[in-house]
Amino acid sequence: METRVAVLAIIVREGAGVTALNDLLHQYASYIISRMGLPYRKRNVNIISVAMDAPSDVISALSGKIGRLPGITAKTVYAPEEAL
């Protein structure tokens, strides 16, 4: 199955969905290349970037599930296929 390289940008505004977010990331761990989290205390948000190498439908599914969590926003950026 063909995979894509992508980065999920996640903004956590409230702590209510953090446990569910961590559970989702654990479920998709086999596709995750790296994860970096940064607390931005001045704005009371946490910024998380997740690099993935996975089939497009897997990346979309994870992004959609994360985006439905309360207080959490997720957007995905795909690497151009010709660049890889």
CATH of the domain at 42: 3.30.70.1150
The Cα 66–Cα 52 span in angstroms is: 14
Q: What is the pLDDT of residue 56?
A: 95
Specify whether the CB–CB gap between 50 and 29 falls below 8 A: no
Q: What is the pLDDT of residue 83?
A: 64
Tokens standing for 76? 């995905």
Q: What is the pLDDT of residue 26?
A: 97
Q: What is the pLDDT of residue 61?
A: 97
Instruction: Say how many C-beta atoms besides its own lie within 10 A of residue 55's C-beta.
Output: 14
Under DSSP, is residue 70 helix (H, G, I), strand (E, B) or coil? coil
Instruction: Say how many C-beta atoms besides its own lie within 10 A of residue 78's C-beta.
Output: 13
User: Residue-wise pLDDT tens for the chain (84 aa)?
Assistant: 799 999 999 999 988 889 999 999 999 999 999 999 999 999 999 999 999 999 999 999 999 999 999 999 999 999 997 766
Q: Domain of 38?
A: 4-83
**Sheet of 45-54, strands arranged across:** 32-40, 45-54, 4-12, 72-78
How many domains does one find in the chain?
1
